[in-house]
Amino acid sequence: MLKLNSYGSRKLILDIYKYRFYSAAVPKRKPENEASKEPKRPNESFMANIFRGTLVSKQVFPYPDVLTLEQKETTDSMLDPFQRFFSDVNNAARNDDNSVIDDNTLKNLWELGGMGIQVPSEYGGLGMNNTQYARLCQIVGANDLGLGITLGAHQSIGFKGILLYGTPEQKAKYLPKVASEEVYAAFALTEPSSGSDANSIRSRAVKSADNKYYILNGSKIWISNGGLAEVMTVFAQTEQIDKKTGEKKDKVTAFIVERSFGGVTSGPPEKKMGIKASNTTEVYFEDVKIPIENVLGKEGEGFKVAVNILNSGRFGMGATMSGTMKKCIEIATAHANSRVQFGQKIKEFGTIQEKLAKMNILQYATESMAFMISQNMDSGSQDYHLETAISKIYSSESAWHVCDEAIQILGGMGFMKETGLERIMRDLRIFRIFEGTNEVLRLFVALSGVQYAGNHLKELQRALKNPAANLGFIFKEASRRATTTIGLGGTDLSTFVVPELQESAKRTAACIDLFGRTTEEVLVKYNKNIINEQIILNHLANAAIDIYAMIATLSRATRTAQLNLPTAEHELNLTKALSIQATERVNQHLRKASSGQLQAENKLISTLAKKICEQDGVHSTGVIDLH
């Protein structure tokens, strides 16, 4: 470890003073640890902390393993019946052709307990945790994404709010119905004028004079299970009075709404590109009388309820996508192993090998992330918002790529309906859009991380106002900056991984250090205007996503190797290959995030986009129109 001489320390402290103007950075949100009276709780998110250039390893090393032997046995006992349901009862192609799942199939799924996987057994569910749920999601993802949406919209988000925020009475009343009594649930947030901007919904609920109920009016669109659901988690604006100022303000409140309350109707099923088997409709609310006891969470805190339901459900998509990718890889491999062209099996061609290896790497990283997150959630972690958003982005994009490459490997055959890949591709397209578009989630990851880094620097600024009282903190910070800036010290992952992965660990550590420095550089340069620099934020998010993929695989492969499992060598190789490829991408993104050259490129892009919009389309006919 580098020892600082007194001149070095003084210079670094002066350098740190330059960060004063951070106080203005990233406005809008309250600085952490300052405004709230809640006791300070350290943020344990690995991802949030790398924005500060700090390694917090608790969530990532060693690879978490939370299931007890009994839970493992219960899960194993469910895998078989689940798999059998898909091979013997459900027919994904038929569901897709008919744009509906027949009653008998759904009945079988209910009887299997597949609609109440995470509902505690005292309420009639299977009582599984997130990790167990993720294992079953993989099977669903490998077999039928359309049915997966019926199942996922019901429990990943439909009644998840009751599990997370329900009062004992709400749980007792609704959970038995949605777990085993064939009562479908839905999550009703999106509106015609409010998609990504979830806070701007217009549906409105007005409290009665006697404070006993709310009257809800409004409409929702693209609601999965919208035509089936008898119970819905609905979000609406409600008038709230600020306790301090007495000012009236609209704030979102979450409600449990039953169709039986009256005034709830649904439109016809939407005609969609994919996930056709699932039911998607508009839902209208006309003077729906909601008893006050059906407020979910606190009045006026519905936005938090909504984002937390989504946060807590997103890992399920990662697990589901890992199953889908596995299936695509199996189909592609079967073809590569048997198809002969130019006198050779096509698996012998480097072009095909490159594709298959990349497909497996993406699948491995997706799965490693999903289970790292589910297990952290199961062990009580509260800081998983960035990780689940990353898992959603990575899994939906990887699955799209893997399916596309599987089709490419099969060539003309892949384009034919009978291989099933074209259905999977159509089904997959929506995953990059719903549950938060990947674009919004990238900005969410980057802005949340940058805000966290900015708050840390504000803390430092405060400490520097009274250096004598904060010497320990200041020296620690100065030392960290000195060592990482000159390439000495910095992040060290060597003790966390097996010898075979030392090189990969070094590369990942270097990426983490560069990431922290670049975030800081970007903050210094753009100050509060960073919120307007979406292209730069995207580069930061992309680098963050790849770093998480590297960490999740390093950790998982290490554990596999330590346990000497039969797949160890292959997993180590997947991890090594990922670390080489991801390091290149991370470096490129971070270079782009910090380079001045990018400003000119961004300006050009913005000029182009403005012109395209002004012209309602392309504006380049030029010489082609001359003749």
Query: Catalytic amino acids?
Result: 435
Residue 598 identity? L
Lookup: tokens for 586: 């991370």
CB of residue 1 to ligand MYA, shortest distance in Å: 36
Query: Smaller CB distance to ligand MYA: residue 230 or 435?
Result: 435
- Give one DSSP letter per residue of 208-276, joined into a string: -TTSSEEEEEEEEEEEETTTT-SEEEEEEEEEEE-TTT--EEEEEEEEEEEGGGSSEEE-PPPP-SS-T
- Judged by CB under 6 A, which stretch of 4-12, 77-85, 311-319, 483-491 contacts ligand MYA? 311-319
Residue 282 within binding range of ligand MYA, rule CB under 6 A? no
Residue 82 within binding range of ligand MYA, rule CB under 6 A? no
CB of residue 378 to ligand MYA, shortest distance in Å: 17
Residue 72 identity? K
Residue 29 within binding range of ligand MYA, rule CB under 6 A? yes
Q: Which of 101, 317, 421, 460 touches ligand MYA by CB under 6 A?
A: 317
Alpha-carbon distance of 483 to 500, in angstroms, equals: 26
Q: Which of 3, 18, 30, 248 touches ligand MYA by CB under 6 A?
A: 30
CB of residue 104 to ligand MYA, shortest distance in Å: 20
- Judged by CB under 6 A, which stretch of 175-183, 186-194, 487-495, 500-508 contacts ligand MYA? 186-194
Decide: 309 and 157 in contact? Cβ < 8 Å.
yes
**Of 45, 62, 140, whose CA–CA distance to 390 is shortest?**
45
The two beta strands, 264-266 and 280-291, are: antiparallel
Q: Which of 167, 190, 470, 534 touches ligand MYA by CB under 6 A?
A: 190
Helix (H) / strand (E) containing 284: strand 280-291
CB of residue 196 to ligand MYA, shortest distance in Å: 5
Query: Smaller CB distance to ligand MYA: residue 389 or 497?
Result: 389
- Judged by CB under 6 A, which stretch of 152-160, 462-470, 498-506, 559-567 contacts ligand MYA? 152-160
Taking residues 416 to 455 in sequence order and writing x for each that binds ligand MYA by CB under 6 A, - otherwise, the string is ------------------xxx---x---x-----------
Alpha-carbon distance of 439 to 353, in angstroms, equals: 31
Q: Which of 385, 432, 458, 589 touches ligand MYA by CB under 6 A?
A: 385
Alpha-carbon distance of 418 to 407, in angstroms, equals: 12
Lookup: tokens for 389: 């958003």
Torsion of CA 31, 34, 36, 37, to 10 degrees: 170
Size of the site for ligand MYA (CB under 6 A): 32
CB of residue 142 to ligand MYA, shortest distance in Å: 10
Query: Smaller CB distance to ligand MYA: residue 153 or 543?
Result: 153
Phi first, then psi: what are they for 552, rounded to 5°?
A: -65, -40
Phi first, then psi: what are they for 458, rounded to 5°?
A: -65, -40
Torsion of CA 157, 121, 227, 397, to 10 degrees: 40
Residue 114 within binding range of ligand MYA, rule CB under 6 A? no
Residue 152 within binding range of ligand MYA, rule CB under 6 A? yes
**Of 297, 236, 299, 292, whose CA–CA distance to 264 is shortest?**
236
Phi first, then psi: what are they for 215, rounded to 5°?
A: -110, 120
Alpha-carbon distance of 300 to 288, in angstroms, equals: 19
Query: Smaller CB distance to ligand MYA: residue 131 or 320?
Result: 320
Decide: 167 and 175 in contact? Cβ < 8 Å.
no
Decide: 153 and 220 in contact? Cβ < 8 Å.
no
Q: Which of 253, 311, 368, 479 touches ligand MYA by CB under 6 A?
A: 311
Query: Smaller CB distance to ligand MYA: residue 60 or 186?
Result: 186
Taking residues 195 to 234 in sequence order and writing x for each that binds ligand MYA by CB under 6 A, - otherwise, the string is -xxxx------------------------x----------
Alpha-carbon distance of 329 to 355, in angstroms, equals: 10
CB of residue 155 to ligand MYA, shortest distance in Å: 8
Residue 516 within binding range of ligand MYA, rule CB under 6 A? no
CB of residue 523 to ligand MYA, shortest distance in Å: 17
* Measured CA angle at 181 (ends 214, 217), to 5 deg: 20
Alpha-carbon distance of 550 to 555, in angstroms, equals: 9
CB of residue 311 to ligand MYA, shortest distance in Å: 5
Taking residues 338 to 357 in sequence order and writing x for each that binds ligand MYA by CB under 6 A, - otherwise, the string is --------------------
* Measured CA angle at 108 (ends 104, 111), to 5 deg: 135
Residue 106 identity? L
Q: Which of 149, 228, 362, 522 touches ligand MYA by CB under 6 A?
A: 149
Residue 91 within binding range of ligand MYA, rule CB under 6 A? no
CB of residue 474 to ligand MYA, shortest distance in Å: 27
Query: Smaller CB distance to ligand MYA: residue 180 or 311?
Result: 311
In the chain the first and final C-alpha atoms are separated, in Å, by 72
User: Which residues in this chain contact ligand MYA in the complex, by CB under 6 A?
Assistant: 29-30, 137, 140, 148-149, 151-153, 156-157, 187, 189-190, 196-199, 224, 303, 307, 310-311, 316-317, 320, 385, 434-436, 440, 444
